[in-house]
Chains A and B, each alone.
Chain A
């Protein structure tokens, strides 16, 4: 198993290297002169040339790429041209907010998606099945920005049950920073009020973000369970006297979720990109809003760093998914050795 995990990690490295190179090249070949953008409309040609030299933009592209690679290896992402602060520091502050949001959304999508998918499969073509089908079609079809506004109108404005925006109540203030995850930090300092408030702020954006993933997971789980129920070993287990609940919830589900688990890894990418829109609507101070600002202000250093960080998180999640799959199905780890 250890060898299997190590292999999955090693396989992720070339992908990340490719991501660094590709994102760099893409950012640089798109039309537009970063030096001119940075200098602003009022700059003289001489000022533009100065900026070009200061940022090394006058060097050949290959050399710039090598410099960029060396900086990335040492964790140096340069300074944001927008705020003139180190990009690494800015992302470090904002990443936990996004991770907290996406992990909560992912957890919600997984738990409810698997539960609904199982319930639908056990009631194949029955009322539960139809209801879940309706929900998952809706979950995939509804645009998240529209749903977000609808949720805000209903739960924040009309019913006044949940906060409209932000990560925590301004008067309450954020918890003392240890991990950057407000839920965790609030627990660590023992502040129940902050924990509850942070949780209340999380609900609407997390639900908005989770819905499409939940729909996908429900569909995959449903078909996985239906397929597994046809297997000989299920008939055998019934004949051998397994209980109904144990058969469905444990014996069948574990086989059925192998496809779902792969899906969870892929979904994570969609969640991060979904977070960009959701963060903007809910005024969530994560890297989604940061990336939007970086794009609008041609802050290419920030943009490259965000791309890489998201890529790393995505790779880590997928290594975890592979590990989970090895744990769920022992044949996966065995056959790949």
Chain B
């Protein structure tokens, strides 16, 4: 490629605040990432790191009471958080986390997806049905015509996730946002769904934002990865480089915790602080084995370290104490 294509999705300097009973919580702070056409970008982090809020911001459905003091979410150059929302919505497909809970149990599966298609592209129902049957075939739902008339509870979990993938593709999207789409499924089904997503993204040249807590899934599927900690980007870069040689202390400890890699499942001491009581400076410093006094003084900005990588830690080339990585 002579010139890199302009990104399909570009999140820059995004901050999201939500008013809670315990005061204003800054759920996301200074989050930046970009997804190019045909690229699968992973976002990884623990529960409560702001993954779901990021997804909702990208989809333009932030909860009531949330506000965006800074930053922008651009989809094909149009601002999703501002006046570009309606236009953008039509070309972003969404695959939710839980296939068991994401379809309305009292409506036929086919009708629910056809309603989405009708919203995005007015047209004859018969045409939509034909397209949907093709899509269901593409996501390998057996007997697609009969499947349209069935209710969600008559499908297995894996099949329901396939239905939701078909629904996400039904608006002919440029971007697909997937929020932990395999977490609720058993391991075998997980593999099948991931393989399906990878194939569909490749065939259709989709940009995909794939949010998960599972580094293993990221390794197998994504081109790039962004590691979130407590609402901030800890580290980002091409997936192989980040996974093989993580630089941010949090990413290094998190990868060391992964059951596929760890020799000793030690875990990271401490817990993610609640969003209303974030520490000053680097939010990871109370749990960081190499933190110094400066870490509490100022927020370390993500710094480019070459190879398309960014790390939000000035001490990223320090060795971690051996015991921590044992």
Contact = CB atoms under 8 A, between A and B. Distances in A.
A251 B107 contact: yes
Contacts of A251: 104, 107
A232 B151 contact: no
Given A246-B115, A330-B151, A331-B151, A239 B94 contact: yes
A140 to B, nearest CB: 29
B96 A329 contact: no
B297 to A, nearest CB: 39
Interface string B49-68: 00000001001010000000
B70 interface: no
A241 B56 CA distance: 13
A236 B96 contact: yes
Contact of A240 (B94, B98, B153): B94
Q: Which residue, of A231, A236, A238, A251, has the highest number of chain B Cβ atoms within 10 A?
A: A236
A331 B61 CA distance: 30
Interface string B136-158: 00000000000000010110000
A157 B56 CA distance: 60
B116 A241 contact: yes
A255 B105 contact: yes
Contacts of A240: 94, 116, 119, 167
A235 B103 CA distance: 10
A242 B167 CA distance: 12
A330 B152 CA distance: 10
Nearest to A241: B119
Interface in A266-320: none
Interface in B86-132: 89-90, 94, 96-98, 101-107, 112, 115-116, 119-120
A142 B116 CA distance: 46
A232 B102 contact: yes
A242 B119 contact: yes
Given A232-B101, A233-B101, A238 B61 contact: yes
Given A241-B116, A242-B115, A331-B153, A236 B105 contact: no
B151 A255 contact: no
Interface residues of B, number: 27
A231 B96 CA distance: 13
A288 B112 CA distance: 47
A331 B103 CA distance: 13
B171 interface: yes
Interface in A221-248: 231-233, 235-243, 246
Contacts of B151: 330-331, 334
A254 B107 contact: yes
B61 A239 contact: yes
Contacts of A258: 106
Nearest to A252: B104
Contacts of B97: 232
A231 to B, nearest CB: 7
A115 to B, nearest CB: 20
Nearest to A232: B101
Contacts of A330: 105-106, 151, 153
B210 to A, nearest CB: 16
A328 interface: yes
Interface in B203-261: none
Contacts of A334: 151, 153-154
B193 to A, nearest CB: 17
A232 B98 contact: yes
Contacts of B104: 233, 237, 251, 254-255
Contacts of A236: 94, 96, 102-103, 164
A54 B98 CA distance: 73
Nearest to A257: B106
B163 to A, nearest CB: 12
A329 B154 CA distance: 13
Contacts of A331: 105-106, 151, 153
Contacts of A328: 106
A233 B153 CA distance: 13
Contacts of A235: 61, 96
A170 B25 CA distance: 72
Contacts of A232: 96-98, 101-102
A4 to B, nearest CB: 15
Contacts of A243: 119
B171 A241 contact: yes
8 contacts: A236-B103, A239-B94, A240-B94, A241-B89, A242-B116, A255-B104, A330-B153, A334-B151
Interface of B: 56, 59, 61, 89-90, 94, 96-98, 101-107, 112, 115-116, 119-120, 151, 153-154, 164, 167, 171
Given A232-B96, A233-B105, 7 more contacts: A239-B61, A240-B119, A240-B167, A241-B116, A242-B115, A255-B105, A331-B153
Interface of A: 231-233, 235-243, 246, 251, 254-255, 258, 328-331, 334
